[in-house]
């Protein structure tokens, strides 16, 4: 990692050149909400002026730019009673601008899931390798809890990361590509003062979190509380709409669908991002559903996020961005669900082993 | 104007499937598996019952055919182009390298399409995937094979394995139960298994018709007929969850250790590679850590039964 | 596509319309890029008068529109008797659709407003066709989604079972990165309506009115609660639910 400092204007010029030369995505305001608040999404950008540098948070994560909502896995071409299968996974290079530390951490988690383990995904690899990521820090929103998940800082997975230190940005350069690009722009070596400012900035960010979700020991709680009534309680609210998984930066499960072209000359096998909250996620032919109730499915989503699976070393995959909580129309959010689970557990502990009465 | 375009060289992309090294990215991966399968020709279709047929497939490419090897209990992702993919247990002998046999029930999209297919049609398979039965560990012991209904499909491979290495195993019993007599699959092979393979084969039917002369009742009642050396017996139990649960509970009562009973779990699957999450049982992948589990593990899996 | 050893046959389709706008039928001829291929799969024949209608037993009857007159019931039954496969095509046929708006008003008032003092034979309610005959497949939508129709026709031609998505519109809406209309202060039926339309309405910033009917196993109680929680009008919600007549079982249950 190489560190540089760049003035805000120069940085803007750099970003402008970068996004003009490449297919790029960055935060843009797409709407104004009911209470006048701006709504942002990662959208195609072709100049710095289109980018909302001071955006708060995007409704949806940047996940779909590396793992598209719909992606062709292969194509069959039919001819004379036979077929040929065509597999392509070339990915056009893209720039992702303005990702937050939690977003980059989320991509690192996806890397682990998709590239570790016995069967790394070449589809994912192609896209991931061809993605140039520029990160930016920000002050957390009142409901961000990435600090609780220890995902509020990031040290890998990006090409360039910009921390706001007042008049300029403190740049962490994590790839030779980024370093080369920056050669054309005016940067300075960080002075001691810049270092201080960076530390101050980090401290400020760390102190600004208003939401804390206690996740220590959560994997065990989840195992112990597998049959807890809180799942039914929250499940009864859940609409099975999958919105949470669509906007989540680390939800990655999918469905595979095959579509025959109308002319019947070919057929396309497509991966389509899915969600374990959807009713037929675990349904098999004949109609048997391994998770028939809303509560079973909701529980499973929490189980995946906060217990973690062997494929990524039993790491929790939630990064604490609270996109799911903000998007859920039924007001289901990790903070309250987990608190509920803990309360449940704690009250249970006290009834199993009552502490001696105090007089 | 600054030139800030970047790209990765085309030759690093679009690698052939099943290359042994991943393109860089400093990962130590063994296999890069794409969606491409081995093209197979359906060489024969044998009707077994009203809703079950045996499909015999032959991998078209001789090199791929040679590469293809599996262990008893593993499964394939069977692709019917234009229709989709379904996980299917391999039902043939591991020693039999020329053909793959799949015993398939007509259920939904993929399997129905297969039922429309004629011999000579082309399909594809990916795999093999998943864990297998510990055939080596069972050597020098008694083996109890228990199947209910279509459960015989994953059980044929271990059966053939035992047949291939009959000397290594002591008493082998095969208990097979079905709802109705007409749903008893592979009856035409029973005689051969009994006499040539020296397998103590016993059948039972839940709802007999007029023609059925054998035993009737639940599969567990067959235990009354045989003597089980519980200290030296391994069991493989395949069938619907209710069936393997009651059988394993029974075997547990008889005194067979739970980690010597093996079952094959079934879940929805879309990848076979631990990516789609559809097959999860608690925090365990049926496709990677299963489908073959010992019963102790199954008992300890969240949402397994 | 004959790699399985059978050839796809041209589907003989008889198209019949009842009370509707024929917009769905128009959809058949839409989607120009694939139109020639699509038509190559079909042998479409139009029938207007029951007397001239003769179907082979291989025919698929595409029935459009809702049933609002008693003579239509007879015609529908005659079609059912001859068709091998009967498809309810479009929201009107599947749920009653827009025509069912009149179910909310007394019959006389309705007739007077629409036809003045002319004598007219109309049933008190607009019905979905499954109120009278057995329906093999339903293709909901107002209008139907051409892509879905193509997919279903291809499925029939390739002897593949037909399935509609079981999940609600929100899934597709979120995949299109739309701003949720609830966040803009509107009542959208997306969370309880069947997907498959690629969320066209919310993508165009108009709320989903559930033209494709309810998704599988919807959480109606939670939906009404959320409308209340957001401080939106449940009256407006009920109006929307009634719009295409797809949610009657929930509305009636509640009332
Ligand atoms: C490890 C394993 C081994 C199996 N072995 C056999 C066998 O030897 N013979 C046999 O007849 N059946 C077997 N099955 C069940 C078989 O996979 C399903 O019957 C089949 O997937 C149905 O697919 P479909 O497209 O016809 O049904 P649809 O209902 O149309 O299913 C659509 C898709 O859902 C998934 N799916 C649906 N049901 C199941 C299911 N029960 N298990 C897994 N995925 C499912 C598949 O991806 C399928 O393509 C096995 C299942 C598993 C998990
Ligand atoms: S938790 Fe909320 S967003 Fe997720 S499926 Fe349930 S209702 Fe939808
Ligand atoms: S939590 Fe659910 S929706 Fe998210 S990746 Fe896991 S299985 Fe999919
Ligand atoms: S589960 Fe929710 S808070 Fe956690 S990463 Fe996903 S969207 Fe963010
Ligand atoms: S706009 Fe409607 S369909 Fe889209 S997410 Fe919101 S409720 Fe769902
Ligand atoms: S968004 Fe709703 S109303 Fe619009 S087409 Fe889809 S289902 Fe119909
Ligand atoms: S089948 Fe996809 S994860 Fe197991």
Q: Which residue of C has its CA nearest to A69?
A: C175
Closest by CA position to A184, among listed B298, B137, B3, B108: B3
The answer to whether position B86 is within a domain reads: yes
Q: Which ligand 5 atom lies nearest to the CA of residue C193?
A: 3
**If you measure CA to CA, which chain B residue comes closest to A265?**
B82
Mapped onto helix, strand or coil, the DSSP state of residue A64 is helix
Alpha-carbon distance C121 to C74, whole Å? 14
Q: Residue A27 and residue B149: Cα distance in Å, rounded? A: 56
Cα of C80 from ligand 6 centre, angstroms: 28
The parent domain of residue B64 ranges over: 36-129
Q: In which region does residue B138 sit, left (phi positive, over 0), alpha (psi from -120 to 50) or beta (all else)?
A: alpha
Q: Which residue has the higher pLDDT, C159 or B234?
A: B234
- For the record, the structure tokens of A26 come out as 């960055």
- The mean of the pLDDT values for chain B is 84
- Position C37 scores a pLDDT of 81
Residue C141: helix, strand or coil by DSSP? Answer: strand
Least confident range of B144-148, B182-186, C16-20: C16-20
Residue B50 burial (C-beta neighbours within 10 Å; 0-12, 13-18, 19+) = exposed
Do B41 and B76 belong together in one domain?
Answer: yes
Query: Strands (DSSP E) along chain C, which ranges?
Result: 11-17, 42-46, 60-64, 85-89, 137-139
Instruction: Flag whether pLDDT at B57 surpasses 60.
Output: yes
Contacts of C223 in chain A (CB under 8 A): 239
Q: What is the rounded average pLDDT of the residues C31-55?
A: 66
pLDDT digits (tens, 9 = 90+) for C190-204: 999 999 999 999 999
* Radius of gyration, CA atoms only, chain B: 21
Residue B232 DSSP class: G
| Distance (Å) from CA A252 to ligand 3 centroid | 6
Percent pLDDT > 70 in chain C is 78
Instruction: Tell me the per-residue pLDDT of C103-128, one tens digit each, with 9 for 90 and over.
Output: 555 555 544 555 555 555 566 677 88
Edge-to-edge strand list for the sheet holding C60-64: C42-46, C11-17, C60-64, C85-89, C137-139
DSSP A51: S
Q: Residues C211-231: pLDDT tens digits?
A: 999 999 999 999 999 999 999
Average pLDDT over residues C236-244: 88
Among the three residues B264, B281, B296, which one is the final residue of a domain in this structure? B264
Query: What superfamily does domain C11-157 belong to in CATH?
Result: NADH:ubiquinone oxidoreductase-like, 20kDa subunit (3.40.50.700)
Does residue B240 share a domain with residue B188? yes
pLDDT in tens, B112-161: 999 989 999 999 998 889 999 999 899 889 999 999 989 999 999 999 99
Following CA atoms B39, C156, A281, B77 in sequence, which dihedral angle do they give, to the nearest 10 degrees? -10
Which residues of chain C have a Cβ shorter than 8 Å from any chain B Cβ?
A: 1, 3-6, 158-161, 163
CATH 3.40.50.700 range(s) for chain C read 11-157
Residue B119 forms part of a structural domain: yes
Q: Same structural domain for residues B56 and B110?
A: yes
Q: What is the DSSP letter of A289?
A: B
pLDDT above 60 (res B12): no
Judgement on whether residues B175 and B101 belong to the same structural domain of the protein: no
Q: Answer yes or no: do B118 and B152 share one domain.
A: no
Ligand 3 environment, Cβ below 6 A: A 245, 251-253, 275-276, 301, 304-305; B 277
Q: Is the pLDDT of residue C31 over 90?
A: no
Q: Which among A59, A263, A280 has the least Cβ separation from residue C37?
A: A263
Beta carbons within 10 angstroms of residue B111's beta carbon: 20
Structural domain count, chain B: 2
pLDDT at residue B167 greater than cutoff 60: yes
Residue range C131-146, pLDDT digits in tens: 888 888 888 888 888 8
Partner residue opposite C3 with nearest CB, options B112, B119, B121: B121
d(CA C5, nearest CA chain B) in Å: 5
- The verdict on B72 and B161 lying in the same domain is no
Per-residue confidence (pLDDT) for residue A328, from 0 to 100? 95
Flag whether pLDDT at C55 surpasses 80.
no
Query: Which run of H or E residues covers position B204?
Result: strand B200-205
Map residue B108 onto helix, strand or coil.
coil
Q: At B219, which CATH number? A: 3.40.50.80
CATH value at residue B42: 2.40.30.10
Per-residue pLDDT of chain A (359 residues; tens, 9 = 90+): 899 999 999 999 999 988 988 889 999 999 998 888 999 999 999 999 999 999 999 999 999 999 999 999 999 999 888 999 988 877 788 899 999 999 999 999 998 888 877 788 888 888 888 889 999 999 999 998 998 888 888 888 899 999 999 899 999 998 888 888 888 889 999 999 999 999 999 999 889 888 888 888 888 788 877 888 888 899 999 999 999 999 999 999 999 999 998 888 899 999 999 999 999 999 998 888 899 989 999 999 998 888 877 666 668 889 999 999 999 999 999 999 988 888 876 665 544 444 444 44
Q: Which burial class, exposed, middle or buried, applies to C56 when counting CB atoms under 10 A from its CB (0-12, 13-18, 19+)?
A: exposed
Residue B25 has pLDDT above 50, yes or no: no
């Amino acid at each position: 990692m190489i560190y540089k400092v760049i003035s805000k204007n120069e940085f803007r010029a750099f970003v402008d050149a970068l996004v003009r030369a490449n297919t790029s995505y960055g935060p843009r305001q797409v709407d104004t909400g009911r209470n006048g608040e701006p709504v942002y999404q990662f959208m195609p950008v072709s100049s710095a002026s289109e980018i909302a540098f001071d955006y708060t948070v995007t409704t949806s994560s940047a996940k779909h730019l590396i793992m598209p909502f719909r992606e062709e896995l292969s194509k069959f071409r039919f001819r004379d009673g036979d077929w040929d299968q065509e597999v392509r996974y070339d990915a056009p290079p893209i720039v992702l601008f303005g990702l937050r530390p939690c977003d980059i951490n989320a991509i690192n988690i996806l890397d682990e899931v998709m590239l570790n383990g016995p069967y790394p995904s070449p589809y994912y690899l192609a896209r991931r390798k061809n993605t140039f990521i520029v990160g930016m820090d920000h002050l957390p929103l009142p409901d961000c809890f990435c600090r609780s998940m220890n995902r509020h800082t990031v040290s890998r997975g990006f090409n360039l990361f910009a921390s706001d230190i007042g008049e300029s940005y403190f740049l962490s350069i994590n790839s030779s590509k980024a370093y080369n690009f920056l050669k054309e722009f005016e940067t300075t070596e960080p002075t001691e003062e810049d270092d201080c400012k960076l530390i101050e900035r980090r401290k400020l960010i760390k102190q600004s979190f208003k939401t804390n979700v206690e996740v220590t020991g959560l994997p065990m709680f989840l195992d112990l509380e597998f049959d807890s009534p809180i799942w039914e309680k929250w499940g009864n609210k859940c609409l099975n709409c999958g919105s949470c998984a669509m906007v989540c930066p680390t939800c990655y499960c999918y469905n595979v669908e095959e579509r025959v072209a109308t002319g019947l000359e070919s057929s396309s096998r497509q991966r389509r991002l899915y969600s374990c909250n959807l009713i037929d996620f675990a349904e098999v032919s004949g109609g048997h559903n391994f998770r028939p109730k809303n509560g079973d499915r909701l529980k499973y989503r929490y189980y995946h996020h906060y217990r973690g699976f062997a494929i990524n070393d039993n790491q929790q995959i939630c990064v604490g961005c609270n996109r799911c909580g903000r998007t859920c129309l039924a007001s289901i959010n990790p903070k309250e669900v987990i608190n509920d689970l803990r309360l449940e557990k704690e009250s249970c502990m006290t009834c199993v082993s009552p502490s001696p009465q105090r007089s | 104007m600054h030139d800030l375009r970047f790209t990765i060289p085309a030759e690093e992309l679009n690698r052939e499937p099943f290359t042994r090294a991943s393109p860089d990215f400093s990962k130590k991966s063994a296999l890069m598996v794409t969606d491409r399968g081995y093209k197979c020709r359906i060489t024969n279709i044998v009707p077994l019952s009203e809703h079950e047929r045996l499909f015999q497939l032959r991998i078209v490419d001789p090199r791929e055919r040679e590469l293809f090897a599996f262990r008893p209990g593993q499964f394939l992702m069977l692709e019917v182009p234009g229709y989709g993919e379904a996980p299917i247990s391999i039902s043939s002998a591991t020693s039999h390298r020329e053909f793959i046999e799949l015993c398939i029930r007509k259920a939904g999209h993929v399997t129905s399409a297969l039922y429309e297919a004629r011999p000579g049609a082309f399909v594809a398979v990916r795999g093999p995937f998943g864990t297998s039965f510990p055939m080596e560990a069972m050597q020098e012991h008694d083996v109890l094979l228990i199947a209910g209904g279509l459960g015989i499909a994953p059980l044929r491979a271990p059966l053939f394995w035992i047949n291939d290495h009959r000397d290594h195993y002591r008493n082998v019993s095969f208990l097979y139960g079905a709802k109705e007599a007409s749903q008893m699959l592979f009856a035409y092979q029973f005689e051969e298994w009994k006499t040539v393979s020296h397998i103590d084969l016993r059948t039972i039917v839940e709802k007999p018709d007029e023609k059925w002369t054998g035993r009737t009742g639940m599969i567990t009642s067959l235990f009354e007929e045989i003597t089980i050396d519980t200290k030296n017996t391994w069991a493989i139990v395949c069938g619907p969850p209710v069936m393997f649960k009651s059988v394993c509970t029974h075997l547990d009562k008889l005194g067979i250790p739970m980690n010597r009973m093996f079952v094959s779990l079934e879940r929805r699957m879309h990848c076979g590679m631990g990516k789609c999450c559809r097959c999860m049982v608690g925090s365990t992948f049926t496709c990677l850590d299963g489908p073959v589990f010992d019963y102790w593990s199954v008992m300890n899996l969240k949402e397994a039964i | 596509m004959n790699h399985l050893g059978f050839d796809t046959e041209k589907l003989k389709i008889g198209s019949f319309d009842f009370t509707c706008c024929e917009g769905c039928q128009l959809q058949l001829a839409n989607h120009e890029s694939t139109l020639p291929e699509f038509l190559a799969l079909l042998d479409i024949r139009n029938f207007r008068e029951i007397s001239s209608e003769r179907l082979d037993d291989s025919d698929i009857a595409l029935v459009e529109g809702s049933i609002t007159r008693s003579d239509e019931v007879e015609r529908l039954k005659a079609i059912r008797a001859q068709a091998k496969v009967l498809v309810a095509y479009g929201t009107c046929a599947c749920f009653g659709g827009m025509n069912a708006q009149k179910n909310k008003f007394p019959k006389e008032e309705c007739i007077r407003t629409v036809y003045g003092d002319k004598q007219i034979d109309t049933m008190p309610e607009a019905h979905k066709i499954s109120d009278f005959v057995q329906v093999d497949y339903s293709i909901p939508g107002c209008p139907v989604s051409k892509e879905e129709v193509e997919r279903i026709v291809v499925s029939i031609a390739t002897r593949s079972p037909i399935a509609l998505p079981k999940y609600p519109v929100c899934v597709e809406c979120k995949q299109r990165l739309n701003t949720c209309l609830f966040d803009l202060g509107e009542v959208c039926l997306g969370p309880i309506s069947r997907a498959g339309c690629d969320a066209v309405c919310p993508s165009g910033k108009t709320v989903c009115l559930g033209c494709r009917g309810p998704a599988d196993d919807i959480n109606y109680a939670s939906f009404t609660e959320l409308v209340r929680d957001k401080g939106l009008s449940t009256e407006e919600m009920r109006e929307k639910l009634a719009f295409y007549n797809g949610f009657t079982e929930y509305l009636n249950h509640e009332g």
